[in-house]
């Protein structure tokens, strides 16, 4: 009995759908809407074909331009692929207003308008958005929402999601609230990250500021931007900040126990930036033997790059609690010395002038704070030991930069003046006679 009732109900639904489709096919209003839909698309296609090359030419700045207006033009240029579906959406909307005023209905053309909007959303997600987080949100949230809107099912779906409550302890929220939170939060924090990148680039170009002050300003801007983004998300979603008191207490307990190292490193990083004793570009060496050029200072750690291209992650706390040798001190000069020896047959009174003049020819060797200084260091087993001290701007790149060039200059200067550079020699003394055997 139940099977026959279900079959009878399905048959009635099929008859109603057939009657609706038959009425739609025979309706002049439906055909006129379909014709207007085609006209709107053709018009959008023709306008887009003419306007797209013009817009591309106007929005493409020269490659050498990097100012704010050029960056804005490049940003707008990315959205040119949306021109066709948006024009079709606009012209279809005009056609919808005409059909509703003439026939009193516009269901067909309204459906076409929603389809064009869905196409625009699909192009946006597939071709324009490149950020991984926003691409995931677009693929699994924005495109399905646009598809439901195009089919006219968005309102029932939202109502169903709003009625579906997810319990979470003493709290509960609907699936619709969770989806809205993901979309709004993701968009705001993406915008915050983009704003942070732009502000960092602007601050790092301010060369009149000390490097430490630039880093500190950049960190302050980062904290401010994401703090505002967090408060904005809470406000948009209607979440009272007083309800976060329990969460804040839990975070405080975590900082007191498991997160104390992270908090210590964060505060140490702020102290480093405030004092300016070590900043990006400095070559430092720690007590533990880690040495390299500071290439980045994060909230938790400082990144050192060694001469062989490796990165060393050093917690900020180590810069506060251990001894740190800063060879650069924001670009100050450094002293090196190159040892060498000459033969005992040499007139050693001539050596200082010859070597100092030769080393001074190197373009990287400085006259201040002191010019090259050749000193007698001792009398060795094989020759007379000298060393020339010289100052350069920056750090010797391993063993084969300033030092190698200076040693070449010393070698050539000594050879040009016929001064012998000794090599180790040993004298063997034999006592007594040497017996020989006759065969």
pLDDT of the chain along its 439 residues, tens only? 444 555 565 566 556 555 545 555 555 666 676 777 788 888 888 888 888 888 888 888 887 777 777 777 888 888 888 888 888 888 887 777 777 666 666 677 777 788 888 888 888 888 888 877 778 878 888 888 888 888 777 778 778 777 777 776 666 677 777 777 777 777 777 777 777 777 777 777 776 666 666 666 777 777 777 777 777 777 766 666 565 555 566 566 655 555 666 677 777 777 776 766 777 777 788 877 778 878 777 777 888 887 777 888 888 887 777 787 777 655 567 788 889 988 888 888 988 888 889 888 888 888 888 889 998 888 888 888 999 998 887 776 655 578 888 889 999 998 888 888 887 766 777 776 666 665 5
Long-range contacts of the stretch 277-282 (C-beta < 8 A, 24+) = 277/319, 277/324, 277/326, 278/302, 278/319, 278/324, 278/326, 279/210, 279/211, 279/212, 279/215, 279/330, 280/211, 280/215, 281/211, 281/328, 281/330, 281/331, 282/326, 282/327, 282/328, 282/329, 282/330
* Sequence ranges of the chain with CATH classification 2.30.30.60: 261-326
What's the chain's length in residues? 439
Three-class SS state of 334 = strand
Nearest alpha carbon to residue 402 among 413, 393, 414: 393
CATH annotation of 333-416: 3.30.70.100
Contact (Cβ atoms closer than 8 angstroms) between residue 346 and residue 386: no
Angle (CA) 193-197-202 rounded to 5° is: 145
Distance CA 317, CA 396 (A): 27
> What's the topology of domain 261-326?
SH3 type barrels. (2.30.30)
Q: What pLDDT, on a 0 to 100 scale, did the predictor assign at position 2?
A: 43
Gap between the Cα atoms of 308 and 13, Å rounded: 75
Q: Which pLDDT value is given to residue 18?
A: 55
pTM of the model: 0.49
Q: Measure the CA–CA gap between 42 and 92, rounded to whole angstroms.
A: 11
Distance CA 217, CA 200 (A): 9
CA distances from 422 to 149, 344, 373, 393, 411 (A): 89, 9, 22, 32, 12
């Amino acid at each position: 009995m139940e099977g026959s009732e279900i079959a009878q109900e399905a048959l009635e639904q099929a008859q109603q759908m057939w009657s609706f489709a038959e009425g739609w096919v025979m309706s002049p209003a439906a055909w006129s809407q379909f014709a207007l839909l085609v006209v709107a698309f053709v018009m959008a296609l023709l306008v887009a074909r003419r306007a797209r090359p013009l817009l591309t030419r106007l929005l493409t700045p020269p490659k050498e331009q990097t100012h704010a207006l050029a960056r804005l033009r490049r940003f707008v240029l990315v959205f040119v692929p949306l021109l066709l579906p948006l024009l079709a959406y606009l012209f279809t909307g005009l056609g919808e207003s005409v059909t509703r005023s003439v026939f009193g209905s516009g269901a067909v053309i309204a459906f076409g308008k929603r389809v064009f909007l869905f196409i625009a959303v699909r192009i946006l997600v597939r071709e324009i958005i490149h950020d991984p987080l926003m691409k995931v949100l677009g693929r699994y949230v924005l495109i399905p929402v646009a598809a439901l809107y195009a089919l006219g099912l968005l309102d029932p779906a939202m109502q169903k999601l709003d009625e579906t409550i997810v319990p979470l302890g003493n709290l509960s929220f609907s699936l619709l609230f969770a989806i809205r939170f993901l979309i709004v939060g993701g968009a705001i924090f993406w915008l915050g990250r983009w704003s942070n990148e732009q502000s960092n680039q602007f601050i790092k170009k301010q060369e009149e500021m000390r490097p430490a002050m630039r880093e500190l300003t950049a960190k302050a801007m980062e904290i401010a931007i994401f703090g505002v983004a967090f408060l904005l998300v809470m406000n948009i979603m209607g979440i009272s900040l007083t309800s976060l008191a329990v969460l804040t207490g839990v975070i405080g307990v975590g900082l007191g126990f498991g997160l104390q190292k992270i908090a210590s490193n964060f505060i140490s990083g702020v102290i480093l930036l405030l004092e300016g004793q070590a900043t990006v570009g400095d070559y430092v060496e720690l007590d533990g033997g880690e040495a390299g050029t500071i290439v980045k200072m994060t909230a938790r750690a400082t990144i050192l790059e060694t001469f062989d291209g490796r990165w060393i992650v050093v917690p900020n706390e180590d810069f506060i609690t251990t001894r740190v040798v800063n060879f650069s001190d924001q670009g100050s000069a450094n002293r090196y010395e190159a040892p060498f020896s000459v033969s005992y047959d040499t007139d050693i009174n001539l050596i200082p002038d010859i070597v100092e003049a030769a080393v001074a020819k190197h373009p990287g060797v400085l006259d201040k704070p002191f010019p090259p200084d050749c000193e007698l260091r001792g009398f060795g087993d094989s020759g007379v030991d000298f060393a020339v001290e010289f100052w350069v701007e920056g750090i010797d790149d391993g063993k084969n930069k300033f030092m190698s060039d200076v040693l070449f200059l010393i070698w050539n200067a000594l050879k040009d003046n016929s001064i012998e550079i000794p090599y180790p020699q040993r004298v063997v003394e034999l006592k007594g006679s040497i017996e020989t055997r006759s065969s």
